Structure 1
Amino acid sequence: MDEKDWTAIQILFQEKNISRASERLYISQPALTYRLKNLEKEFGTKLFFKIKGGIEFTSEGVHLVEYAEEMIKKLQKTKDYMLNIQQDVRGTLRLGVSSNFAQYKLPKILKRFSTQFPNVQFNINTGWSNDIINLLNSATVQLGILRGNYEWYGKKALLHTEKLCLISKKEIKLEELPELPFINYKTDSSLKTLINGWWHDRYSEPPFIMMETDRLETCKEMVKNDLGIAIVPQICLQPSDNLQIHELSYHDGEPVNRYTWLMYNQDSLQLSTVKNFINFLNENPNI
């Protein structure tokens, strides 16, 4: 087996479908099938079998997938350390970033960092914070930027603090909130918990939810068109939105804050790309 075999078997395991796996690998289905047959011949066993709509791995196949994933990690770690030996700051920085932070903050950060360190490439995974913590735990990424509180036994630093805000097209009274049409959007569990915690602190009756959207930006557009109100993190708001914005606080006056954390393992600091990126974030807190 070589690196191409490891990657092929890993992606096939993720997709459980030869057609989709070949698309992700940018090779033809016959070429992928030929590679897989050679693997089965090399190990003298069936790795998977066909089922309706895709394939299922045998126990031998699952074992080989685990081996492939371990080898991919070891190879990437070796590449990282070999590049780190050189004096220049170069190599690939693997980041896992919460979607909202990736949309509103990350592009400007990466632009300024790449101007300072032009020999650094980026491998970025974005998603909800619970997805990012899984990428960190599996060592798929070297650094994680997560929003909300997650258990992490490595290094952790506060990166960004923002308010949670109620938005509306027209001026409203907070005491009338339970009677107003409320727009929900899909988000991670930590933000849902924060929103629900504030609501239950202030009201005894649930919100009047009249719309569910798949994205925060879609929700914001609905509010812009006066179709309801919403509670959103401050990071997504711009002056050009022309919305009424109320920064939320609990009954005792404490603001409802949303925290963004930088998380990584201590060992990652041995890599010049990681160390310099962390230093860059510390030196530029207001980007």
Structure 2
Amino acid sequence: MDEKDWVAIKVLFEEKNISRASERLYISQPALTYRLKNLEKELGTELFYKIKGGIEFTSEGVYLADYAEEMIKKLQQTKDYILNMKEEVRGTLRLGVSSNFAQYKLPKLLKQFSTEYPNVQFSVNTGWSTSIMNLLNASSVQLGILRGNYDWYGAKTMLHEERLCLISKREVDMKKLPELPFIHYQTDSSLKNLINGWWHDRFTEPPLVTMETDRQETCKEMVKNDLGIAILPEICLQPSDNLFTYGLSYKNGTPVLRSTWLMYNKDELQLTTVKTFINFLNQNPNL
């Protein structure tokens, strides 16, 4: 078995479908089938069997899929450490980044870092912070940039805090919010709990939810068209939105803040690329 075999098994195990796996691997379906048959012949056992709509792995196949994933990780770690032995900052930086940070902050940050360190490449996974936390726990990324509070056994540094804001197309009386049409959006549990905690601190009545959108940007567009009010993190707001913005505070006057954290395993500091990127973030807090 070689690296291509490991990757093929890993992707097939994730997809449970030869056609979809071949698309992800950028090879033809017959070529993938041929490779898998040769693997079964080499190992002397069946790795999977066909079911309606796809395939199912045998117990031997499941064991091999675990082995393949572990070998891919070890190979990547070996490549990282070999590159790290040179003085030059070179290699691939694997990042897991929350969607909001990735949309509003990450492009500019990576552009500036690339200018200073042109021999560093990036492998970036974006998503809700809960998904990034899973990637960190699985060691699939070297660094995680998450929003909200999560338990983590490794190193954890706060990058910055921002306020939650109520937004509206027109001026509103903050005491009458339960009477106004409210627009919700899908988000991770951390932000949802923060919003709900503030609401219950200020009101005894639930919000008058009239819309549920899949994204924060969609929600903001609805507000810009005067279809309701919403609560968004400050990172999502731009002066060009032309909206009335009200920073949220609890009854005791404490502002409602959302934290952005950098998390990583301390062992990753042995890699020059990781250490350099962390120093870059600490030296450029306003990026």
Q: Pick the TM interval, shorter chain.
A: over 0.9
Name the structure 2 match of 1:168: 168
Give the aligned length. 287
Deviations 1:66-96 (A, max 9, x none): 0000000000000000000011100000000
Query: What residue number does 1:114 align with?
Result: 114
Q: What TM-score does the superposition give when structure 1 sets the normalisation length? A: 0.99
Match of 2:9 in 1: 9
**By how many angstroms is 1:205 displaced?**
1.0
Query: Secondary structure at 2:103's aligned position in 1?
Result: helix
| 1:199 partner amino acid | W
Classify the secondary structure of the residue corresponding to 1:87.
Answer: coil
Q: Aligned partners of 1:245, 1:221: CA distance in 2, in Å? A: 14
Cα drift, residue 246 of structure 1: 0.3
State the Cα deviation string for residues 135-167 of structure 1 (Å, max 9, x = none).
111111000000001110000000121000000
Return the letter of the residue paired with 1:8. Answer: A
Residue number in structure 2 paired with 1:99: 99
- Given residue 192 of structure 2, which amino acid in structure 1 is its aligned partner? K
1:50 deviates by 1.1
What is aligned with 1:24?
Answer: 24
Give matches, 1:190-269, under 5 Å: 190-269=190-269
Letter in 2 for 1:192: K
What residue in structure 2 maps to residue 72 of structure 1?
A: 72
Deviation at 1:99, TM superposition (A): 0.4
In 1, the alpha carbon distance for the partners of 2:204 and 2:122 equals 47
Whole-Å separation in 1 of the counterparts to 2:208 and 2:53: 41
- Aligned-partner Cα distance in 1 for 2:220–2:74: 43
- Match of 2:41? 41
Q: CA RMSD in A?
A: 0.5
Residue 45 (structure 1) shift = 1.1
Q: What is the CA-CA distance between 1:39 and the residue it aligns to? A: 1.0
Deviation at 1:180, TM superposition (A): 0.6
Instruction: Kindly state the Cα deviation for residue 281 of structure 1 after the two structures are TM-superposed.
Output: 0.4
TM-score (normalizing by structure 2): 0.99
1:147-166 equivalences under 5 Å are 147-166=147-166
Where in structure 1 do 4 or more consecutive aligned residues deviate above 4 Å? none
Instruction: Tell me, in whole angstroms, the C-alpha distance in 1 between the residues paired with 2:124 and 2:95.
Output: 5
Q: Distance in 1 between the 2:244 and 2:144 partners?
A: 33
2:155 partner amino acid: K
- Per-residue deviation, 1:44: 1.1
What is the one-letter code of the residue matched to 1:65? A
Shift of 1:49: 1.1
> What amino acid sits opposite 1:141 in the alignment?
V
Render the CA deviation track for 1:148-195: whole Å, top value 9, x for unaligned.
011100000001210000000000011111111111111111000000
TM-superposed CA distance for 1:54, in Å, is: 1.1
